[in-house]
Amino acid sequence: MKASVTKGLGQGFVIEDVDLADPIGQEVRVEVRASGLCHSDLSVATFIGGEFPVVLGHEVAGVVTSVGPDVARTRVGDHVVGSLIQFCGACANCLGGRTHICLAPEVTLRTAGQPSRISWNGSPVAQGMGLGGFAQEALIHENQLAVIPDAMPWAPAALIGCGVLTGAGAVLNSARVRHGETVVVIGAGGVGMNGVSGALIAGAEKIVVVDIEDAKLERAKAFGATHVINSRATDPVEAVREITGGGADHVFDFVGARPVTAQGLRMLAKGGGLYLIGVGGSDAGVEVDAITTLTGSHRVQGVYMGSSNLKRDIPFYASLYLQGRMNLDDLVSREIGLGEIDAGYEALKDGSTARVVITDFS
Ligand SMILES: NC(=O)c1ccc[n+]([C@@H]2O[C@H](COP(=O)([O-])OP(=O)(O)OC[C@H]3O[C@@H](n4cnc5c(N)ncnc54)[C@H](O)[C@@H]3O)[C@@H](O)[C@H]2O)c1
Ligand SMILES: [Zn+2]
Ligand SMILES: [Zn+2]
């Protein structure tokens, strides 16, 4: 089968003929129908690194074509969406419903002694995040897959696995925003827009979006932003305090740059929470002043993958989309072929592009 292989740092994405093993244990073979381009894969391919050669791609949707002997809840023909969240289902955190912080995520992968799931010219190829969605087919543990309704279109379905789980989950699961509360979303990118959708679903009264590009702020209105602030033109802290009448109940930082996060902290109302989601660079973080924080009863919380339970949340968002209650269509700016990943990432640099999705695997 064809896969887009990354052979080393800065070497891009190159189509090769690779072999995919047959499913064993709880593995599921998926014919990929859509694969989203997330920034994290580009970061791995350009500066983070890891095992090479590797098939990246972690926003993946497709049809199940075969299953391993121990697969219990996934059948041939099912439409599935993958997620990088790996969970065992048996540790204390999984049993407590917090599968996103599973203590034994490695049980979803093959062990070092087993043959690699993907190989190329007889040598092993790494599989990005247990998924490897930049390929015609993928071999994935069933715990990393959720079944979606057949009616769900492929491109928006793929985006649910990372950007939607993270953005909407931050609001609905991590912060548990309640109706009538005020929400600030800093960073109106592909993930932040799902934060806006989450706030809309939660019934937030005011949804304020902060960005530095007018085109992104304009698009945010289509997702449900009630107020937008260009922080290049306006002091965002003052503007948020004015719009919310003193401060916001929840501030979600999808940017992750020190000055931006510090602004987020100053936007909080008494009892408000700041949520750290974006990582804009290696020095991302925030300094917390104890007196201001304790007198304001503020919270600062790190958010991993929207505290999501993928088996519950992926079908939930697909259902909301099919009911017309969640905007995913405006996230899909462009559809490309498997051989056009480098150009796709280039297109993402343009402010008007939200997400690029591979839908042609021929
Ligand atoms: N915590 C997690 O589990 C998790 C999961 C997925 C993604 N992420 C992270 O979420 C972040 C957002 O991802 P994305 O795909 O939406 O990225 P993106 O590049 O599409 O969006 C970032 C947005 O921030 C805006 N921005 C940049 N600098 C700004 C500033 N100084 N002030 C205000 N806005 C500014 C940009 O204009 C852009 O609209 C990334 O850092 C990504 O790595 C985290
Ligand atoms: Zn991602
Ligand atoms: Zn676990």
Cα–Cα distance measured from residue 303 to residue 320, given in angstroms and rounded to the nearest whole number? 23
Using alpha carbons only, give the angle 261, 158, 59 rounded to the nearest 5 degrees.
60
Q: Is 357 exposed, middle or buried (0-12, 13-18, 19+ CB in 10 A)?
A: buried
* Residue pLDDT, tens place only, 62-71: 999 999 999 9
Say what the pLDDT of residue 350 is.
Answer: 81
Cα–Cα distance measured from residue 151 to residue 362, given in angstroms and rounded to the nearest whole number? 22
Cα–Cα distance measured from residue 269 to residue 175, given in angstroms and rounded to the nearest whole number? 14
**3-state DSSP assignment of residue 275:** strand
Strand residue runs (E) in 163-284: 182-186, 206-211, 227-230, 248-253, 268-276
Tokens of 29: 């073979």
Cα–Cα distance measured from residue 102 to residue 257, given in angstroms and rounded to the nearest whole number? 28
User: 64, 76 in Cβ contact below 8 A?
Assistant: yes
Say what the pLDDT of residue 282 is.
Answer: 82
Query: Closest residue (by CA) to atom 28 of ligand 1?
Result: 255
User: 199, 174 in Cβ contact below 8 A?
Assistant: no
Cα–Cα distance measured from residue 80 to residue 60, given in angstroms and rounded to the nearest whole number? 8
Say what the pLDDT of residue 280 is.
Answer: 87
Say what the pLDDT of residue 113 is.
Answer: 92
Say what the pLDDT of residue 273 is.
Answer: 98
Question: Which DSSP state fits 22?
Answer: P
Instruction: Output the average pLDDT for the chain.
Output: 97
Q: Is 6 exposed, middle or buried (0-12, 13-18, 19+ CB in 10 A)?
A: buried
Cα–Cα distance measured from residue 344 to residue 353, given in angstroms and rounded to the nearest whole number? 10
- Domains in the chain, CATH or no CATH each: 2-161+307-360 (3.90.180.10), 176-302 (3.40.50.720)
Residue numbers in the chain where pLDDT is lower than 70 = none
Go through 203-229 and write b for each residue having 16 or more CB atoms within 10 A of its CB, e for each that does not: ebebbbbbbbeeebbebbeebbbbbbb
- The ligand whose atoms approach the alpha carbon of 58 most closely is 2
Task: Look at the alpha carbons of 140, 145, 111, 12 in this order and tell me if their dihedral is positive or negative.
Answer: positive
Cα–Cα distance measured from residue 313 to residue 170, given in angstroms and rounded to the nearest whole number? 12
To which residue do tokens 């912060």 refer? 175
Tokens of 89: 């289902």
- The ligand whose atoms approach the alpha carbon of 37 most closely is 2
Say what the pLDDT of residue 202 is.
Answer: 98
Tokens of 337: 């072929």
Q: Which of 44, 86, 99, 166 to mutate to test the pocket of ligand 1 (most atoms within 8 A of CB)?
A: 166
* Distance from the alpha carbon of residue 261 to the mean position of ligand 1, in angstroms: 12
Measured from the CA of 354, which atom of ligand 1 is nearest? 20
Say what the pLDDT of residue 281 is.
Answer: 82
Go through 48-68 and write b for each residue having 16 or more CB atoms within 10 A of its CB, e for each that does not: eeeeebbbbbbbbbbbbeebb
Widest CA span in the chain: 64
To which residue do tokens 């931006």 refer? 260
User: 204, 225 in Cβ contact below 8 A?
Assistant: no
Tell me which residues have their CB closer than 6 angstroms to ligand 1: 39-40, 162, 166, 186-192, 210-213, 216, 231, 254-257, 260, 277-280, 303-305
Tokens of 153: 């279109």
Say what the pLDDT of residue 125 is.
Answer: 98
Q: What is the CA radius of gyration of the chain?
A: 20
